[in-house]
Amino acid sequence: MKVGIDSIAFDIPKLYLPITTLAENRNIEADKLIKGLGLHKMSFLDVHQDVVTLAANAALQLIQQENINPKEINRIYVGTESGIDSSKPVGSYVLSLLESQFGEASFRNCDVVDLTFACIGAIDALQNCLDFIRLHPTKKAMVIASDNAKYDLNSTGEYTQGAGAIAMLITANPRVLSFSQEVGVATEGVFDFFKPRRYVAKETLGLEDNPEWHGILENEIAIYKEQPVFDGQYSNQCYINRITEAYDHYKTESNQSEKLYENWSNILMHLPYCFQGRRTFIEIFAKENPELLETQLGDTAKDKIKTLAKSPEYLNLVTQKILPSEMASGQVGNCYTGSIFLGLVSTLCYHFQQKTELANQKMGFIAYGSGSKSKVFEAEVATEWQSVIGKVKLFETLEQATAIDFTIYEKLHKKELKQSVIAPKKEFYLDHIETEDPVLIGARYYKFG
C-alpha cells in the first residue's frame, strides 16, 4: 500500500523586501547575496500575520482547493519552531479557525499537536502521520509546516529571513507522492542554533518595587526572543555532518549500495538560503565519487572538493536535480520547517510548467534541523500528480507580492507599525492580543475577513 501526499497548498506573505534594497542599506555587495547565495526577495509578515494565520490560511486553501470534507480529517499535525505559546499549540488555533468557517464541532474528533525540532519538525510530523495512515488506510491527516524565520537587524542571518506555510493532505493511494518506509537518521545534541529563554532579575529592570508586575511573583522574569542564537559556520558544519551521516544510514536501512542520488530525478533539501543545498550536497557527491575527487586539483581534500563543485559533472547534477527546488526559495527566503516543502512545491510546479513527465520517478529528501538532526528518505511521484499540481499557482502568487521599502521593513521588524501595510482580504488574520483581562492576558484572537 502506498502512503503519502495526496494534495498540497501554501500561504506566503504578500510583502517582500528586495535583496538589493537590503544590500544597499547594509553596505553589502548585492552580487554576494544574489549570485553567491541565490537570494532575490525576502518575504516578510504584515502586522496582522503570524504562524497561526499562515498555517490556517494554507489549511483552508487546501480544503477548498480539493473540496475536502472536514470530518474526514482525523489529524492536523503542525511542524513549527515559531510557536506563540509554551503550552497551547498552533494546531489548536488552526482547528478553531477552520471551525469558524466549516461549523462548530466540524473538527471535534480531529487530533492536533505541534512538533518542534528546529527546521525538521514538519518532517517529523509528516512521518508520524504517514505511519498513522499505514495503520489506518481509510483515514486522512493534514500536515502543516508554518514558520517565521526572523533574525536580528544587522546580523549575518538578516538576509536569510522569510516566512510561509505549506499544508499537505496525507492519505493512502496518494495522487502526488508516496514515501518509502525506510528512513535514514542522524542526530547529535549541539548548540549550533537555538532560541533560549533568558532570565533577568527584576532589580535589573528597575522593578524591585513592583513585586507583582504582570502577575509575576518570581524575582526573575523570563524573556523570549523570536530571533535565534546561532553560529553560522558551526551550524553549516553540523548540517554537512548530519546529512552525510543520514544519507549513509538510509543506504543501510534501505539495503542499497549504489549511488542513491543517481536514482533520484530531483533532490529536495532544507534550504536556509537558496544555494545551501548545492553548496552542501557536494560533500555527499564527493564521497560517492572518490575516483572523480582524486582527479581534482588541490593540495587537500577540502581544496579538491571546492574544485569538484565547479566540475561539469557536479554542475550538471545541480541544474538537473537541485535547481528546480531553489526557484521559490530565492523569491521567498527561509521558512524553517517549510523550506524543504516549499522546495518540493517549487520543483513540482516547475516541472508542471515544463510539462516534464515525472510519474513513477523517485525524489530524494534530505531534511535537516539544527540542534541537530537529519533525515533522508525517498518518494515516488504518482501518475496523477499533474492533476493536483495544476491547481497550485505558486509562481503566479509570488509574482503578485508587493515590495516594501527599507523604512517599512525596519518598522515591521521592530513591531512599530499598528496598521497593516496591506489590509487582510478573504483570509484569517490576527485581530488583537488581550492586554486588559487579567485572566486572559496574552490570549490571541483571530478573525476571517
Tell me how far apart the alpha carbons of residues 10 and 168 are, in angstroms, rounded to a whole number. 9
76 in Cβ contact with 311 (< 8 Å): no
State residue 214's pLDDT score.
80
Q: Alpha-carbon dihedral of residues 118, 122, 128, 132, nearest 10 degrees?
A: 160
| Closest of 198, 295, 287 to residue 240, by C-alpha | 287
Strands 428-433 and 73-79: unpaired
Q: Alpha-carbon dihedral of residues 299, 301, 306, 307, nearest 10 degrees?
A: 60
**In this predicted model, what pLDDT tens digit does every residue of 231-287 receive, in sequence order?**
999 999 999 999 999 999 999 999 999 999 999 999 999 999 999 999 999 999 999
Angle, CA of 287, 291 and 292, to the nearest 5°: 80
Q: Which helix (H) or strand (E) holds 314?
A: helix 312-317
Burial class (CB in 10 A: 0-12, 13-18, 19+), 197: exposed
User: On the CB side of 171, how many CA atoms lie within 13 Å of its CA?
Assistant: 15
- The residue ranges of the chain whose pLDDT is under 50 are none
| Closest of 154, 162, 127, 179 to residue 51, by C-alpha | 162
113 in Cβ contact with 77 (< 8 Å): yes
Reduce the secondary structure of 158-223 to three states and give it as a string.
HHHCEEEEEEEEEEECCCCEEECCCCEEEECCCCCEECCCEEEEHHHHCCCCCCCHHHCCCCEEEE
State residue 212's pLDDT score.
84
61 in Cβ contact with 32 (< 8 Å): no
State residue 213's pLDDT score.
85
Tell me how far apart the alpha carbons of residues 142 and 73 are, in angstroms, rounded to a whole number. 7
Q: Which helix (H) or strand (E) holds 99?
A: helix 90-102
Contacts of 349 (CB under 8 A, 6+ apart): 328, 389, 392, 394, 395
**In this predicted model, what pLDDT tens digit does every residue of 64-108 receive, in sequence order?**
999 999 999 999 999 999 999 999 999 999 999 999 999 999 999
What does DSSP assign to residue 119? B
CA distances from 110 to 4, 145, 288, 409 (A): 19, 18, 44, 38
Strand partners, 403: 16
State residue 288's pLDDT score.
97
Q: Alpha-carbon dihedral of residues 379, 384, 387, 389, nearest 10 degrees?
A: 10
88 in Cβ contact with 51 (< 8 Å): no
State residue 286's pLDDT score.
97
Q: Kindly report the pTM of this predicted structure.
A: 0.97
Tell me how far apart the alpha carbons of residues 109 and 107 are, in angstroms, rounded to a whole number. 6
Cell representation of residue 227: 530571533
Tell me how far apart the alpha carbons of residues 163 and 66 are, in angstroms, rounded to a whole number. 24
Domains of the chain (ranges; CATH) run 3-192+231-448 (3.40.47.10)
State residue 211's pLDDT score.
82
